[in-house]
Amino acid sequence: MDKANMKAVLQKYTMIIVLILVTLFFTWKTGGKILLPQNISNLISQNAYVFVLATGMLLCILTGGNIDLSVGSVVCFVGAVGAVLMENFKMNMGVAVIAMLVIGTLIGAWQGYWIAFVRIPPFITTLSGMLVFRGLSNVVLNGLTVSLNSEAFIKIFGGGANCFVPDFFGVEGFNLTCMLAGILAVVIYVLLQVKGRMSRVKKGYEVDPISGMLVKTVLISAVILAFAYKLSRYKGIPSALLWVLIVVLVYGYITSNTTTGRYFYAVGGNEKATKLSGINTDKVYFIAYLNMGFLSALAGMLTIARMTSAQPTYGQNYEMDAIGSCFIGGASAYGGVGTVPGVIVGAILMGVINLGMSIMGVDANYQRVVKGLVLLAAVIFDVVSKKGAQK
């Protein structure tokens, strides 16, 4: 592999390399505690909302570096409404879930309308939403905490200590169902990689060297198996992980294999040219924020299920976690660049940093400092890389 190819590979997988190095650092500093099965499981459950929100935020950022500052407040508001409906009004869980998704989607449509069709800047529109829905959350909850007692809701959306996929084999001390799921995931991943490469070769597209593909496939397969093994030694697959996987797979497919997904990249790359080609760019903006509202509702359900309650303070700084995960995961501050897998890597990196520093007993204020510096470094890397490419 020549220097040019080596540089391209390093640039493409920079964040994965950083994630490995950061994990090794915290493994050393915590005496291996960060890799304990329970901590791996907690990493998923505690950061499920980040994975969901960051996936939706990616679509907003793709349209031109735009962000949604309201998602934390929308998470809180939707969760508050759902908890009140189920506990105070004794509404059926299924009806309450539908109501929460509808409310979140309507909020996304409301903000999307002003952004897409009236052309109010996203920063102003969503900043307004952040204040409005945080205030409405306090109104709905009357400034109080509403405890969530619906066991079915808590189990389905991944809250509590026993919210895991059942082990169908009943092996003591090892969740065989989880391990088999990991093996199946590796098989599917390898088949998709092979099929994708064959398809690109058949169509005459440029493909990475076979050695590079093999290294990447082996490394990712090893990570999946190690991850499944760790979870198998604890309680298996957390319920929250299922929701994360659904969101990641669905939106990963949409962004990489559909016409609608390509529109987001096109608008972020050059909106005027995209509009001249006949694409309704206003509709693309609207869909991005409509979808953000929908995923904020799902994140709201995951949050109140994990906390088994609704409080006016929930969702604070969630928007920062989502935005940070996108930029750290390779999304461009200018729009038009970014992938769902990259965002997930960014979210995992943020989660590892949080977990590692928490185990080490680092003060919460210093944790914010580190996260802020990591975010700045990621954006600087993006800007400098683009300037270098333009020379």
Domains with residue ranges and CATH for the chain = 19-163+238-390 (1.10.3470)
Give the separation between CA 320 and CA 299, rounded to whole angstroms: 14
Contacts of 97 (CB under 8 A, 6+ apart): 82, 153, 301
Give pLDDT, residue 368: 86
Q: Does residue 391 contact residue 337 with C-beta atoms inside 8 Å?
A: no
The confidence score (pLDDT) of residue 16 equals 80
Per the document, the length of the chain is 391
* Nearest one of 54, 52, 63 to 261, comparing CA atoms: 63
pLDDT of residue 207: 75
| Among the listed residues 136, 157, 148, the one whose alpha carbon sits nearest the alpha carbon of residue 87 | 148
d(CA 204, CA 260): 24
Two structure tokens written together for 53: 């929100």
CA torsion through residues 120, 382, 352, 51, sign: positive
Token pair in block for residue 25: 């650092």
Q: Is 2 helix (H, G, I), strand (E, B) or coil?
A: coil
Q: Please choose, from the candidates 241, 35, 90, 76, the residue with its C-alpha nearest in 3D space to the C-alpha of residue 156.
A: 241
Q: Where do the H-state alpha helices sit in the chain?
A: 3-12, 14-29, 37-62, 71-87, 93-116, 122-141, 151-156, 176-202, 210-232, 239-257, 259-269, 271-276, 281-307, 318-328, 340-360, 364-390
pLDDT of residue 390: 57
CA distance 271 to 283: 12
Per-residue model confidence as pLDDT tens for the chain (391 residues) = 556 566 666 666 777 888 888 899 999 999 999 999 999 998 888 899 999 999 999 999 999 989 999 999 999 999 999 999 999 999 999 999 999 999 999 999 999 999 999 999 999 999 999 999 999 999 999 999 999 998 899 999 986 666 888 888 888 889 999 999 999 999 998 998 888 888 888 878 777 777 777 877 888 888 889 999 999 999 899 999 999 999 999 999 999 889 999 999 999 989 999 999 999 999 999 999 999 999 999 999 999 999 999 999 999 989 999 999 999 888 888 888 899 988 998 999 899 998 999 999 989 888 889 888 888 888 787 777 766 655 5
CB-neighbour burial class of residue 217 (10 A; exposed 0-12, middle 13-18, buried 19+): middle
